[in-house]
Amino acid sequence: MSDSHNTPPDYDDDEAGVIEIPYQSLSPDALAGIVQEFASRDGTDYGEVECTLTEKITQVEGQLKTGHLTLLFDPVSQSCQVVNSRDWKSNPAVSLNS
């Protein structure tokens, strides 16, 4: 007898869509990993003044808490992304890979 709770669903449908994930629903370690990965990306624009990674992480965490940023999960690619909430709300059909 197989345990379906331990097996992730098989998403073959490219139209499965992304899922908005409340940041509060993640473990502190999972959230920290996602935020750190996002904040450390090359090309992330934080304005005219360079910030340390710690400062960038603090900014991202603050923007998640205020709702300016949204966490998305794509079950097809099994990837997570941090996006501008206003952009996401105005065009939720946008793929994480575009």
Q: Torsion angle, CA of 26/29/33/36, rounded to 10 degrees?
A: 110
| Three-state SS sequence of the chain | CCCCCCCCCCCCCCCCCCEEECHHHCCHHHHHHHHHHHHCCCCCCCCCCCCCHHHHHHHHHHHHHHCCEEEEEECCCCEEEEEEHHHHHHCCCCCCCC
pLDDT at 92: 63
Write down the pLDDT at residue 7: 54
Please compute the mean of the pLDDT values over residues 39-60 and round it to a whole number: 79
Domains of the chain: 19-40+54-90 (1.10.10.610)
- The residue among 79 and 11 whose pLDDT is bigger is 79
